[in-house]
């Protein structure tokens, strides 16, 4: 047992949830995963430079596929558990897992989440951004702004020997103060060696609860914020698209973070 093992073991003995050592990335793994994350961010920048009204969400899929492959990567969503496209595009009332479609044309006033996940040299990265198409309603604008604030406030709580629940608490508090709700059953995840690793990351759990944060942990901060009910249904036709139950707007922003010795580093956003 080394010093870290003893510290983890002591916390576990006190009833804390601690990560398995396999979830703590080595310096070599971190270097390789950062390359994947840099490509992931570049894909998002490429989308940001081209997204516009009149474009179909399938054109976004093509932008993502072509750019990723041209840079030696593979889009992680493609064929993941049967997902048919290279990216998730979630428009307005779609919470997440929207499937790009040539018949879905972005209109002025839409808000859209583009969720990009990349495999490079076998290492995984994942981040998403909100885009506003042309001029959007003050209502949509505020939801997108508050969602970005939620993720920043969550990130500010991400520190070694804190808890995942500290991040959730900051996010949920800010969302609720603005009259919004946080989706409960879909959340973030560990990432790096696999697309989805332990732990599951909730954004509705109390401060001080859930897994202890330890240097080397990597996971996503990706709350889904709804203007109305947090409840959702999944489109039966495709088994993927998650929609708000009340047809209200939903927004999501995703950062991929690494817990360091003195805080947290954003690897892709």
From the annotation, which residues make up the binding site?
97, 115, 126, 189, 196, 222, 254
The token pair that represents 233 in the structure block: 């249904």
Hey, what's the torsion of the CAs at 88, 89, 90, 91, to 10 degrees?
Answer: -170
What is the closest distance, in whole angstroms, from the C-beta atom of residue 188 to Co ion in the complex?
6
What is the closest distance, in whole angstroms, from the C-beta atom of residue 108 to Co ion in the complex?
28
Distances, alpha carbon 259 to alpha carbons 124, 175, 180, 269, in Å = 16, 24, 28, 15
Of 55, 58, 80, 265, the residue at the interface with ligand MF3 (CB under 6 A) is: 80
Distances, alpha carbon 46 to alpha carbons 23, 105, 159, 219, 255, in Å = 31, 19, 31, 23, 17
Stretch that binds Co ion, among 2-10, 37-45, 124-132, 178-186 (CB under 5 A): 124-132
The verdict on 36 binding Co ion (CB under 5 A) reads: no
How many whole angstroms separate alpha carbon 34 and alpha carbon 43? 14
Of 19, 77, 216, 248, the residue at the interface with ligand MF3 (CB under 6 A) is: 77
Specify the residue, 73 or 77, whose C-beta has the smaller distance to ligand MF3. 77
Total residue count of the chain as it appears in this document: 269
In the 8-state DSSP scheme, what is residue 217?
A: -
Annotated binding site for substrate: 97, 196
Specify the residue, 19 or 98, whose C-beta has the smaller distance to ligand MF3. 98
The verdict on 59 binding ligand MF3 (CB under 6 A) reads: no
How many whole angstroms separate alpha carbon 63 and alpha carbon 47? 7
Contacts with Co ion, residue ranges (CB under 5 A): 126, 220
Contacts with ligand MF3, residue ranges (CB under 6 A): 77, 80, 83, 88, 97, 115, 117, 126, 189, 220, 222, 254
């Amino acid at each position: 047992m080394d010093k870290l093992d003893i510290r983890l073991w002591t916390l576990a003995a006190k009833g804390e949830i601690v990560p398995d050592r396999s979830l703590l990335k080595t310096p070599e793994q971190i270097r390789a995963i950062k390359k994947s994350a840099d490509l992931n961010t570049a894909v998002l920048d490429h989308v940001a430079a081209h997204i516009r009204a009149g474009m179909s969400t399938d054109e976004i899929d093509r932008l993502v596929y072509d750019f990723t492959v041209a840079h030696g990567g593979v889009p992680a969503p493609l064929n993941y558990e049967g997902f048919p496209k290279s990216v998730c595009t979630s428009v307005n009332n779609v919470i997440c897992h929207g499937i790009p479609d040539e018949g879905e044309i972005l209109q002025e006033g839409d808000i859209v989440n583009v969720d990009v996940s990349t495999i490079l040299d076998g290492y995984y990265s994942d981040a998403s951004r909100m885009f506003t198409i042309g001029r959007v309603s003050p209502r949509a604008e505020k939801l997108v702004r508050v969602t970005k604030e939620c993720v920043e406030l969550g990130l500010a709580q991400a520190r070694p020997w804190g808890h995942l629940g500290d991040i959730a608490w900051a996010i949920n508090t800010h969302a609720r103060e603005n009259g919004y709700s946080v989706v409960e059953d879909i959340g973030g995840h560990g990432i790096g060696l696999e697309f989805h690793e332990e732990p599951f990351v909730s954004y509705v759990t109390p401060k001080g609860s859930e897994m202890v944060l330890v240097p080397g942990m990597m996971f996503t901060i990706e709350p889904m914020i709804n203007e109305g009910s947090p409840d959702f249904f999944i489109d039966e036709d495709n088994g993927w698209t998650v929609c708000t139950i009340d047809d209200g707007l939903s927004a999501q922003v995703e950062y991929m973070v690494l817990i360091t010795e003195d805080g947290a580093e954003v690897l892709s956003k």
